[in-house]
Amino acid sequence: MSYSFWMYSRDAEVHFYLNTYTTREDIVDSVRGLRHKGGRPLNTGAALQYVRDNQGIFAIGIGTRNSDSRELQKISYDPSYALSVSEFTDLPSVQERLSSVMSTVLVRATPMTPTVTVHRKPAGRDVVFLLDGSDATRTGFPDMQNFVQRVVETLSVDDNKDRVSVVQYSRDPAVQFYLNTYTTKAQIIDTVTGLRHKGGRPLNTGAALQYLRDNVFTASAGSRRLEGVPQVLILLSGGRSFDSVDAPASVLKQLGVLTFAIGTRSSDSEELQKISYDPSYALSVSEFTDLPSVQQQLQSSVEAVVVDVTPESPTVPVDTTKKDVVFLLDGSDGTRNGFPAMREFVERVVEKLNVGENKDRVSVVQYSRDAEVHFYLNTYTTREDIVDSVRGLRHRGGRPLNTGAALQYVRDNVFTNSSGSRRLQGVPQMLILLNGGRSFDNVDTPASALKQQGIFTIGIGTRNSDSRELQKISYDPSYALSVSEFTDLPSVQERLSSVMSTVLVRSTPMTPTVTVHRKPAGRDVVFLLDGSDATRTGFPDMRDFVQRVVETLSVDDNKDRVSVVQYSRDPAVQFYLNTYTTKAQIIDTVTGLRHKGGRPLNTGAALQYLRDNVFTASAGSRRLEGVPQVLILLSGGRSFDSVDAPASVLKQLGVLTFAIGTRSSDSEELQKISYDPSYALSVSEFTDLPSVQQQLQSSVEAVVVDVTPESPTVPVDTTKKDVVFLLDGSDGTRNGFPAMREFVERVVEKLNVGENKDRVSVVQYSRDAEVHFYLNTYTTREDIVDSVRGLRHRGGRPLNTGAALQYVRDNVFTNSSGSRRLQGVPQMLILLNGGRSFDNVDTPASALKQQGIFTIGIGTRNSDSRELQKISYDPSYALSVSEFTDLPSVQERLSSVMSTVLVRSTPMTPTVTVHRKPAGRDVVFLLDGSDATRTGFPDMRDFVQRVVETLSVDDNKDRVSVVQYSRDPAVQFYLNTYTTKAQIIDTVTGLRHKGGRPLNTGAALQYLRDNVFTASAGSRLLEGVPQVLILLSGGRSFDSVDAPASALKQLGVLTFAIGTRRSDSKELQKISYDPSYALSVSEFTDLPSVQQQLQSSVEAVVVDITPESPTVPVDTTKKDVVFLLDGSDGTRNGFPAMREFVERVVEKLNVGENKDRVSVVQYSRDAEVHFYLNTYTTREDIVDSVRGLRHKGGRPLNTGAALQYVRDNVFTNSSGSRRLQGVPQMLILLNGGRSFDNVDTPASALKQQGIFTIGIGTRNSDSRELQKISYDPSYALSVSEFTDLPSVQERLSSVMSTVLVRSTSMTPTVTVDRKPAGRDVVFLLDGSDATRTKFPAMRDFVQRVVETLSVDDNKDRVSVVQYSRDPAVQFYLNTYTTKAEILDTVTGAWKEFFNS
């Protein structure tokens, strides 16, 4: 008898296994050393499941007076096996009884196959209908629907006795609803009535049965199998299955599912009998129209079988008649002597197999440096043929031994349908590896991939093998066997047979945990070698060149990594960046490289391949950790395909490409490909490569020194993450919602939840978003999982993903909601989406990226893959499944993505900035592409070309971008897309007119602000390069241009607006940086007439702009002053002195609604507003309020979060800030200690917004931190204690009086015209049936009120909304700008009302 010991509370923990100890003494010793586990709650169910699904195992339950006696009886194999004591100290009293029970247990004949034992089931059934939805059943589907409805009518659903699920299938299955989706008969019948026929072929019944086993007959999907409720499956099938049903049908029987199979004359009756729980449960009709004839028979069988199921139900053995067995033999130089023994061992194993097409199949593969198939799983169908072939095997030889590559090879090329594998039909897949040495390459990833695919690997090694490596490779460490020499293989044959006989088909192998190590500084260097026919003679020289360059790298200390890819028609990876870890391994492999050959030469495709497959985290690239990425291309000819787009993509990715060509290459093409034209090098022949080696080396070293990401990258603190799940809860995801819920649970289970560890939030959305819980709501994993399990599907439409992304940015990734973004904690958003968004996702997705939030988008086949890629932080972070039920298949990939995420302050893909900034300009053309400009568009295009001709693009002085817009904008190319004038002119020549209406110039200007004038899009604004926008517009904007035009001016963008006679000249002047920059032509054909004027203005303005741009003195009659007071525990004693200081400063201000405004905010852990800028309008009220301030207290001191808070919530229009009207904005910080969080980003954001921060600190403050926070370091003031504040009051006054209006230190000053006071007036009119006769009076009233307003000078704005059951906007506040237009529309609305 064997013994094992387990301890459990929330989860179970093994102290030792049945095979750990072989003597009583060892077991007793181990038991004496047991420590109490602790923990809560007590999950007995989970513990039982953990030890083995409680099937066929004789459980004896012993409890105390605190146990539940009924529960113990349920758990015990038989109720009489449940024993009881008062306290655990009384356990000796039941020892005799326990021995008696143990001695009565009989050894069953099939120890490995669990018996299905059903005890006294509670009343009720779980009934699943599996409907054939293939093309062949289209006409019969309504009859199936009716049949399901009639059966459901006979069930007791409403009192929760019976539960129902419906699944439809053809090629693959689709759940219509789960067992726990509906709780009333009416809901079920309603849904069944509305079912649509699925369609598709072939009919894979086997796959559908397996799917039910894994996804429907589960507790999370509502199955009560573990509670003893009978599980009934009713299959309606109209044809023979294309795949095998044997294994999945057997698995369902083992699970105790009572399957009834009903087929038509097109079905296979033998197949239906196999599927059915008992052959008598297979029923048949001529057509589906005859289903009513078997309904009574089915109903009687279901009722009878539920009564008849007893503990003595028959056991079903595993179908051991089928296996796919692959032998992978080490044929390297080191196994030459042992190879005959391997061959004989394979023969002996094969002799014991039951070989046949529908029985066991065998394949043999041999490997050393690379792998070679001797025969596939479908090559031979008899044992004799296989043995003959094995006897003829020759030892292959070769080195090094690449076991990792060989494992990957068999996964991709042998365990496939085309090679004879029956994995998808549920046939067990086995790989037997015979290995004689340690692998030269890494085995982790391919071994993990085999396990994920459910392949049972058994590794057999010799004393020269690496035992740990074999354990990693094997499906389970215990499957790794060992011999001294291959001649000893017969000694493990019995053990191998034993392992093979225990292998069971398991659909969900455990997934490995990803451990990320912090990578040191260095370079990732990829060589791309032209292996086409034309380079055959030069290939040895290329090889030597690569070796020489590798010799100069620091590989062995893991600073530098190397990959080599060879290409011709298509690329072939020789090894990845993470394949080798020593210089010797790399040089060895490079020495052995064979020329690839082939034609044509597709350099473009090869570059794209590198982008997608080599410069990725999974291939070893450390790009996301800020490690420089270097590509060295050796090319011997012109590319057959275009290199433009892939070369541009690599540049955007920040890859530093050096292109080296021969006289047969195209030098212009090489310059296009290179990161900088100067990185394109040339030799006459490849034999001359040594002549450029020094030049290349110097360039690589220089550029790596000079590469500075826009802001330094910070390695992840892997102990902390803020993770937000955004779930699509729209009408279209109702069926998939349970699977989403389970997926979230599984991900959360792997997190390390805690207040100072990982935090989690869940938000659901459809038309709008709803928070289920915030990042700071729960601090334990248990609470989160509990809350997730209770989620209800929200429903609703349309699906507004854009609005939901904006919502989480503004309301969830915030300090008050528990986000620790400002403290540098990684922010992750996991979106589960089931359809295309109704609204636009571009701007909110961009805003999340700018905020450094790492979005991972997971969609189904109904999602828009391009949209998901836009939303995701990086296109490679967009994952896809067919249905939500397939989410488990991407869990490993999600974990991998999450583990690579690093906190970076430049959220868009990092731009590589090479020092030596040239003088120049960034010029953006914004072209009106609306319907009205169709005929004028060619003239616009010509104008752009002529302007570009005058720019200095090729020497990287000037950069150009073109954006076209109508209703919404579309980028034709960014500022960093092209690096030559020829490329730009080429693209402009090919531009197509966009079309569309209305013309939303305001939205287009805002889009440029957020997406084009940014570092990631190539803008050099932060480097002081002038930003120029040239707008060509052919009409009046439908939306308002005021706010976005003002925002561009604040950014320092020099806007020139050129319009036609249809444009609004006042609008053009508003948009332009200066009214004189608004130019006009009669038609676009006249554009040449203003070109010289535009050019002179651009050149003049660029000369005038310097980093120290001219300043404008403050209008001292107006200031918005915000005091930010440190209210943390450390300032308790000094707070009265702070209060008095604020009073004294306020006393000197000229307070009034149109004069100075004041706000006070106090902060510690988080910020709290005492009053806003528009709360009080008199000095007396402010002083009164300040005198009443109480010290807040709290810790830690989060100054960064407080700065962000005042930027987002106090310096805003709604809080009384007049920033957009050009009123100076001042922030006075009184601080008594160093900040717990990071202040850099929020301080920078305040400066960019033109807010003048003055930091005053004590001796406990960090003086450098205060200088960072202050608008200028000289604005940081200091006192010993807060009681000394009066000593700096004079200095503060001086600073405040010298403050000049500057938008940023590097961009020109923006002077914004003072906006007149006015009102926004909205009329909400009752348009219901009851007001039909009263409506003219309402209309007249609106007209009379409008007559009194000042609309034409843009003081007042008007909107009209009419409503009855729901509202309808007649026009918005920014639709019309004249009184006449408004009155006209109001009159028209009245006419429309009476005509309807």
Chain segment 1048-1067, per-residue pLDDT in tens: 998 889 999 999 999 999 99
pLDDT band at 108 (very low <50, low <70, confident <90, very high): very low
Mean pLDDT for 664-688 is 91
Question: CA–CA separation, 1388 vs 1377, rounded Å?
Answer: 17
State yes or no: pLDDT of 111 exceeds 50. Answer: no
pLDDT band at 165 (very low <50, low <70, confident <90, very high): very high
Question: What does pLDDT average to over the chain?
Answer: 84
State yes or no: pLDDT of 44 exceeds 50. Answer: yes
State yes or no: pLDDT of 14 exceeds 70. Answer: yes
The reported pLDDT for the residue numbered 511 is 28
Question: CA–CA separation, 1295 vs 260, rounded Å?
Answer: 87
Mean pLDDT for 24-36 is 80
Please provide the distance, in angstroms rounded to a whole number, between the alpha carbons at the two ends of the chain. Answer: 88
Burial of 767 per CB tally in 10 Å (0-12, 13-18, 19+): middle
Amino acid letter, residue 210: Q
DSSP string, 43-111: -HHHHHHHHHTTSS-----EE-TTS-HHHHHHHSSSGGG-EE-SSGGGGGGGHHHHHHHHHHPPPPS-T
State yes or no: pLDDT of 917 exceeds 70. Answer: no
In what helix (H) or strand (E) does residue 1310 lie, and over which residues does it extend?
Answer: none
Amino acid letter, residue 1280: S
More confident residue, 1274 or 961: 961
Contact 1239, 1270 (CB under 8 A): no
Count the residues in the chain: 1396
Mean pLDDT for 1006-1020 is 88
The reported pLDDT for the residue numbered 341 is 93
Question: CA–CA separation, 1122 vs 1172, rounded Å?
Answer: 9
Amino acid letter, residue 932: A
Give the rounded percent of residues in the chain with a pLDDT score beyond 70: 88
State yes or no: pLDDT of 358 exceeds 70. Answer: yes
> For residue 415, what are the contacts with CB-CB under 8 A and spacing of at least 6?
324, 326, 421, 423, 429, 431, 450, 453, 455
The reported pLDDT for the residue numbered 7 is 62
How does 532-562 read in b/e, with b if 16+ C-beta sit within 10 Å? bebbeebbebbbbbbeebbeebebeeeebbb
Mean pLDDT for 854-866 is 93
DSSP string, 598-645: -SS--HHHHHHHHHHHTSSGGGT--GGGT--EEEEEEE-S--SS--HH
pLDDT band at 904 (very low <50, low <70, confident <90, very high): very low
pLDDT band at 260 (very low <50, low <70, confident <90, very high): very high
How does 1323-1348 read in b/e, with b if 16+ C-beta sit within 10 Å? bebebeeeeeeebeebbeebeeebee
State yes or no: pLDDT of 1128 exceeds 60. Answer: yes
Q: Encode pLDDT of 518-542 as tens digits.
A: 334 689 999 999 999 999 999 999 9
Cα pseudo-dihedral 1198, 1199, 1200, 1205, rounded to 10? 90
Mean pLDDT for 655-667 is 93
Amino acid letter, residue 691: S
pLDDT band at 1127 (very low <50, low <70, confident <90, very high): very high
Mean pLDDT for 821-849 is 90
Q: Is the preceding peptide bond at 1110 cis, omega within 30 degrees of 0?
A: no
Phi-psi region of 955 (alpha: psi -120 to 50; beta: other; left: phi over 0): alpha
The reported pLDDT for the residue numbered 109 is 26
The token duo for 651 is 């540049």
Q: Encode pLDDT of 973-1003 as tens digits.
A: 999 889 999 999 999 999 999 999 899 999 9
Q: Encode pLDDT of 1319-1334 as tens digits.
A: 899 989 998 888 888 7
Mapped onto helix, strand or coil, the DSSP state of residue 1224 is coil
The reported pLDDT for the residue numbered 19 is 75
Burial of 1003 per CB tally in 10 Å (0-12, 13-18, 19+): buried
Burial of 1258 per CB tally in 10 Å (0-12, 13-18, 19+): buried
Question: CA–CA separation, 1054 vs 1044, rounded Å?
Answer: 13
Q: Encode pLDDT of 943-959 as tens digits.
A: 999 999 999 998 888 99
Mean pLDDT for 259-286 is 92
Name the CA radius of gyration of the chain, rounded: 37
The reported pLDDT for the residue numbered 509 is 32
State yes or no: pLDDT of 54 exceeds 60. Answer: no
The reported pLDDT for the residue numbered 712 is 30
Mean pLDDT for 1100-1125 is 58
The reported pLDDT for the residue numbered 1137 is 93
- Mean pLDDT is highest, among 315-319, 1096-1100, 1119-1123, for 1119-1123
Q: What angle do CA 467, 469, 475 make, to 5 degrees?
A: 100
Question: CA–CA separation, 1263 vs 1096, rounded Å?
Answer: 47
The token duo for 681 is 């090098």
**3-state helix, strand and coil shares in percent for the chain, rounded to the nearest 5:** 40, 20, 40
The reported pLDDT for the residue numbered 859 is 95
Amino acid letter, residue 1113: P
Give the rounded percent of residues in the chain with a pLDDT score beyond 90: 54
The reported pLDDT for the residue numbered 912 is 36
pLDDT band at 1114 (very low <50, low <70, confident <90, very high): very low
pLDDT band at 1289 (very low <50, low <70, confident <90, very high): confident
Question: CA–CA separation, 153 vs 188, rounded Å?
Answer: 10
Cα pseudo-dihedral 490, 495, 501, 506, rounded to 10? -120
Question: CA–CA separation, 511 vs 445, rounded Å?
Answer: 11
Q: What are the backbone dihedrals phi and psi of residue 1246, each rounded to the nearest 5 degrees, phi first?
A: -65, -40
Contact 578, 540 (CB under 8 A): no
